[in-house]
A and B are shown apart, each in its own frame.
Chain A
Amino acid sequence: DTAVSQTPKYLVTQMGNDKSIKCEQNLGHDTMYWYKQDSKKFLKIMFSYNNKELIINETVPNRFSPKSPDKAHLNLHINSLELGDSAVYFCAAGAFLNTGELFFGEGSRLTVL
C-alpha cells in the first residue's frame, strides 16, 4: 500500500503543451510538497500546501500551478511547457511545522521535446 503515490510516472510531451501530475498520500499528514530534481540530481522545493492552503511558493514560474482539493491530494499543473521543465518531480508529505521528515513519492519523470 503506497504511502505517497504519483501519476503518471513517465510523461513525454511537446513544448507548449499543458500537462498535470497528480499526487495522493494516505499517511494522514497535513502538509504536502512538490520538489523538482534536475538533471544534476539537485532537489529544490517548489511548493507546499498545508490543509489546502499554499504556504511555500519558491519563485516558481506562474506556468506552474499547484492545486490541493483536500489535504490528501496535491496536483501540479504546468502550462506552456518548456524544454527546461524536463526533470523528475517528486511529491512528498509530512506534518506541518514538523521535524522536517518527509515521505516521498516515486517521482514523475517529465520529458519535454
Chain B
Amino acid sequence: AQSVSQHNHHVILSEAASLELGCNYSYGGTVNLFWYVQYPGQHLQLLLKYFSGDPLVKGIKGFEAEFIKSKFSFNLRKPSVQWSDTAEYFCAVHGSSNTGKLIFGQGTTLQVKP
C-alpha cells in the first residue's frame, strides 16, 4: 500500500536557522510529490510540487525540495527560516494509478523562535 513517512514530528528552530524536513514515500510507480503548509488555524496551502523534470523544485516563500528517486525521498529545505514559517508541514504523494487519491504524511510541526 502507498504510504508517506515524515521523520520529524516536531522541529524547533531559531530564526535564521536552516531547515530540512524529511519525507519518504512507498510506491512502486510514477509519483507526483507535494509539500503543503498549514498555518495556525488556516487551511492547507500548496508550498511546492514535483511532477517531472528537474528534481530540485522551488516553491513559495523561499522553500525548495529535492526529489531523489533512488531514495524515495522528497525533503523540504529552507536556508533561513523566519518566525512566520511557524506552521504544520505535510508531505503528500499522488501515485500514477491512484485515481486522484492524495496520500499525506503525518505532518511536521515547525516552531520558529524569534
Do the beta carbons of B99 and A41 come within 8 Å of each other?
A: no
Report the count of interface residues on A (CB-CB < 8 A).
25
Do the beta carbons of A98 and B44 come within 8 Å of each other?
A: no
Partner of B43 from A33, A41, A107 at Cβ < 8 Å: A107
Given contacts A99-B51, A105-B43, A41 and B94 within 8 Å (CB-CB): no
Mostly, the B contact residues are: strand
Contact flags B85-114 to A (C-beta < 8 A → 1, else 0): 000101011100011111110110100000
Total A-B residue pairs with C-beta atoms closer than 8 Å? 65
Given contacts A90-B43, A99-B49, A41 and B100 within 8 Å (CB-CB): no
Collect the chain A residues with CB atoms within 8 Å of residue B104's CB: 42-44
Do the beta carbons of A98 and B106 come within 8 Å of each other?
A: no
Do the beta carbons of A104 and B44 come within 8 Å of each other?
A: yes
| Additional 18 contacts, C-beta under 8 A, given A41-B109, A99-B51, A101-B49 | A40-B106, A42-B104, A43-B104, A43-B107, A45-B103, A48-B101, A56-B99, A56-B101, A96-B100, A98-B100, A99-B32, A99-B94, A100-B93, A100-B102, A101-B32, A101-B94, A104-B36, A107-B43
Q: Which chain B residues have a beta carbon within 8 Å of chain A's beta carbons?
A: 32, 34, 36, 38, 42-46, 49, 51, 88, 90, 92-94, 98-104, 106-107, 109
